[in-house]
Amino acid sequence: MRGKTFYAGIQKESGMEMRFRGLMPRGIEKLFVRDDLRRTMAEFGRYTAHAFEGDGDHAAELTTLLRETDVALTAWSSPRLPLDILRDAPRRLKYVCNISGGIKGWIPKEYIEAGILVTNWGDGPMWYLAEGNLALILACTREMPRLRRHMLEQPTWLYPYASPYPTLRRKTVGFMGFGAVARLLLGLLAPFEVKPIAFDPYIPALPESVARCRTIEELFEQADVLTLQCGLTEETTGLVGRALLDRLKPHAIFINTARGKVVREKELIEFLRARPDVFAGLDVFEQEPLPKDSPLLQMDNVICYPHSICEVGEPMFAESSSYAAANIRAFCTGRPVTAQIAAEKYDRMT
């Protein structure tokens, strides 16, 4: 006989099962909802997966399901959750456990404002994104795309670097935004003895080793390597254009693994054509998938990655499942969850 369980401060009498529902495409559910997560939910109740495919209007069906749900599980490509459920009193739904990162596409802010607990995968998978950032920085430092062409053509055996000092060691690395990925990337950069600087008006205190830039213009002017680590908001959409890019140093490196629409892509292309000394490592674009005729794919001072610099397959999905399992166990036993999304954090997320 199962003993008493608790969730969100509300005592559930012994024998009353909790209802967990997965609301995501079948392929995504298979990636994220692993055995450890299924076993955890089975301890406290019953899990049912509902496969939602495509971009159709699922509001009516979701409203019905959520009225019979204690914990909803969402992830990439989940349908947008309906607002009608928020008018219910009493409301059974208490927790939306998002097993992936971003939530804005399918979890409205009104859920958080209504007191529904919302979490995501936390900082765990951010390690892989930080590692991918480092890979792009090093590849651009050593001019890998141009070097490959040189090896194919072989006009001479030795490669003439555009930069007189093709090394990351002791360079100034600028962070536009200083969240979880930036903190992890800073640790990975430590052996290179870099000088870190950052611009982030939302972070009250930076690590002692990181110098704060007063303006974004100052950041672009001082950085040898500039990495974008900010979310996509109304304020950041189209923020980086030719006026800022023209402030970059000779032989600078520009990295964007944040969101493509932070940068005015047409102006970035014009800038990179005019400044062949600058290298760019891009994982995100204004239009995705990136069109095959994009000039970025033809430029020898650009490395393009298909918005998957974070994805390393099995380890990331397994870690995300375990993280969700730990949060659901904490929720069901009355303990604090981690990676809770507050309303003010929601506004800064992508």
Q: List the catalytic residue out of 34, 50, 259, 275.
A: 259
| Residue 228 DSSP SS3 | strand
Q: In which element (H, E) is residue 331 found?
A: helix 314-332
Q: How far apart are CA 309 and CA 117, in angstroms?
A: 29
Residue 210 — left, alpha, or beta (φ > 0 → left; ψ -120 to 50 → alpha)?
Answer: beta
Q: Which two tokens stand for residue 66?
A: 């959520």
Whole-number Cα distances in Å, 1 to 13, 44, 109, 182, 330 = 12, 12, 38, 47, 20
Task: Give the helix ranges, DSSP H, for 20-74.
Answer: 26-32, 35-44, 59-66
Which of 199, 252, 266 is CA-nearest to residue 229?
199
> Is 221 one of the catalytic residues?
no
> Is 251 one of the catalytic residues?
no
> Is 259 one of the catalytic residues?
yes
Q: List the catalytic residue out of 38, 91, 247, 307.
A: 307
Neighbours of 120 (CB within 10 A): 27
Q: List the catalytic residue out of 43, 170, 288, 335.
A: 288
Which of 3, 229, 222 is CA-nearest to residue 240?
229
Q: How far apart are CA 135 and CA 306, in angstroms?
A: 14
| Residue 248 DSSP SS3 | coil
Active-site annotation, residues:
259, 288, 307
